[in-house]
Amino acid sequence: MANVKINEEQTTSSKKLNLSWIWSEYSVIIAFIIIFIAAALMNDRFLSLQNQMNILLQVSTIGIIALGMTVVMISGGIDLSVGSVLAMVGVFSVMALNASESIFVGILTALLVGASVGFINGILVAKGRIASFIATLGMMAAARSIALYTANGGSKSAEVQGFSSIANTEFGIIDVPVIIFLVLTLAVYVLMQKTRFGRYVYAMGSNEKATLLSAIRVDRIKIGVYTLCGFLVGIAALIETSRLNSISSSSSGNLYELDAIAAVIIGGTRMTGGKGRVIGTLFGVLLLGVLNNMMNLMNISSHLQGLVKGLIIIVAVFFQKRD
């Protein structure tokens, strides 16, 4: 009888562990499925193909930024400057585009400026020993100020034909920004799961001192992490500028850092670093996209959508602490 009770207790314990592991690993996917089904039941228009494509298009820019934020947060840092940097990159890329009348120059400018700002963030954090929160908060203010000064507080419009077609072209039923987002998701997934750089980022986020004692150049990894994030912000800025054929120095990128951080946290990445997955971020982005779309279809005030995102972040962090 004693053996039977022990076996029953072991079986019960094993089931609890399995359920806990399933929730820990797949909670964002489960939450996404539940919200997706709820949205479909609440509004008949939600499941239309056009609406689904619209959701993917709307989340593509934030999704690309969230990929960079994922890498930064896995490393144990955070980047609050992404929204302001997007505006600054957009302004500079449009100015270079109009001055050179070359789409290639505009694209190259966006990528170089984005990566350069990320590199500066990395230098401040790695070499300057400044906390990532403070360093990127300063960059957030500086980048927005530069964008406003350069554009005289207004907008910059692209004057070269063909530039808007970059983000407004479709392959079949899928828009180019969606394809770019999915390709970059795969690329960052491979980078983080299949390369030495990815392993070092996870190690650094888990225990920076131990990683340093393992003869790993932590400073180089940090610089690489923030440079990658800036590069991805450059791509996002290029897509947003091309979609609208203009960029606003005052409003473009506003609160994008909140959306990106929300998607990353919902996707299971820990604020303290060392744990997180690119696939989780993908579903976190999609979950927020479905939520926004559902609220729009239900005519819920846009002013309340920030409240919903804030509550989701709090709930996600709460459950992370219970893992």
Q: What DSSP assignment string belongs to 84-146?
A: HHHHHHHHHHHHHHHHHT-HHHHHHHHHHHHHHHHHHHHHHHHTS---HHHHHHHHHHHHHHH
> Cα–Cα distance between 169 and 173 in angstroms, integer?
10
pLDDT band at 322 (very low <50, low <70, confident <90, very high): low
> Cα–Cα distance between 227 and 57 in angstroms, integer?
25
Report whether pLDDT(228) > 60. yes
pTM of the model: 0.91
Report whether pLDDT(127) > 90. yes
pLDDT at 172 (0 to 100): 84
Residue type, 320: Q
Beta carbons of 163 and 242 less than 8 angstroms apart? yes
Report whether pLDDT(130) > 90. yes
- Tokens for 312, please give them: 């989701």
Rg (CA), the chain: 21
pLDDT at 263 (0 to 100): 92
Report whether pLDDT(321) > 70. no
Least confident interval from 102-116, 130-144, 217-231, 252-266: 252-266
pLDDT at 108 (0 to 100): 97
CATH superfamily of 53-322: ABC transporter involved in vitamin B12 uptake, BtuC (1.10.3470.10)
Beta carbons of 185 and 60 less than 8 angstroms apart? no
Question: Closest Cα partner for 292 from 311, 275, 305?
Answer: 305
pLDDT band at 145 (very low <50, low <70, confident <90, very high): very high
pLDDT band at 14 (very low <50, low <70, confident <90, very high): low
Q: What percent of the chain has pLDDT over 70?
A: 90
pLDDT band at 239 (very low <50, low <70, confident <90, very high): very high
pLDDT at 279 (0 to 100): 94
The 10 Å Cβ neighbour count of residue 237 is 31
pLDDT at 66 (0 to 100): 97
Question: Closest Cα partner for 249 from 99, 149, 118, 110?
Answer: 149
Q: What percent of the chain has pLDDT over 90?
A: 65
Q: How many helices and strands in the chain, by DSSP H and E?
A: 12, 4
pLDDT in tens, 165-184: 999 988 888 999 999 999 99
Backbone angles phi, psi at 156, to 5 degrees: -120, 130
